[in-house]
A = this chain, B = another copy of it.
Amino acid sequence: MVQLGRHYGTGPASLAEIAAEEDLPRAYLEQLVVSLRDAGLVSSTRGAHGGYELTRAPEAISMADVLRALEGPIAPMLCATDDPEHGILCDRSARCTVNVLWVRVRDAVTGALDSMTLADLVPPRTDPATATAAIAPIQPTPLQGA
């Protein structure tokens, strides 16, 4: 998650912290982080004052890596997957001309995802004092207004 990018270099961050900042249930994050750890993107420290940390610098983690870790191989259709392992040939494969379309879409997606790293999504930590004030609800946001 982006929050982990924010904390990079400042020691491990506990899920309780992140849950508070992201406003998501801790138990849910717990589940997500398992995938990230299995993918080798984060490391964990158990016990008091423990938490999670990025194993690499945010600049070195592409969003494609993150998404693959969280949601599996990138594939608009299961017949056009990133990962040769989980590729499933549909029985129509012979006469199916649509496959090339999905491959193109997939390549477009992976291209976009590869072009961005975690660092691109970490809000610039310019100045903590202006943080709260800068995000003042002056935005018109017509839909779903509180």
Seen from chain A, the residues whose Cβ lies within 8 Å of a Cβ on chain B are 2, 22-23, 63, 87-95, 97-98, 100-101, 104-105, 107-109, 111-113, 115-116, 120-123, 132, 135, 137, 139, 141, 143-144, 146
Given contacts A87-B143, A143-B89, A144-B89, contact A105 B95 (CB under 8 A): no
Which of B93, B95, B109 touches A109 (beta carbons < 8 Å)? Answer: B109
- Complex alpha-carbon distance, A137 and B123, angstroms: 54
A130 → B minimal CB distance (Å): 13
Name the B residues within 8 Å of A121 (CB-CB). 97-98, 100-101
- Complex alpha-carbon distance, A103 and B49, angstroms: 37
- Complex alpha-carbon distance, A53 and B135, angstroms: 53
Once the chains bind, are A123 and B98 in contact (CB under 8 Å)?
Answer: no
- Complex alpha-carbon distance, A92 and B1, angstroms: 14
Given contacts A23-B92, A98-B121, contact A109 B116 (CB under 8 A): no
A79 → B minimal CB distance (Å): 11
- Complex alpha-carbon distance, A119 and B132, angstroms: 48
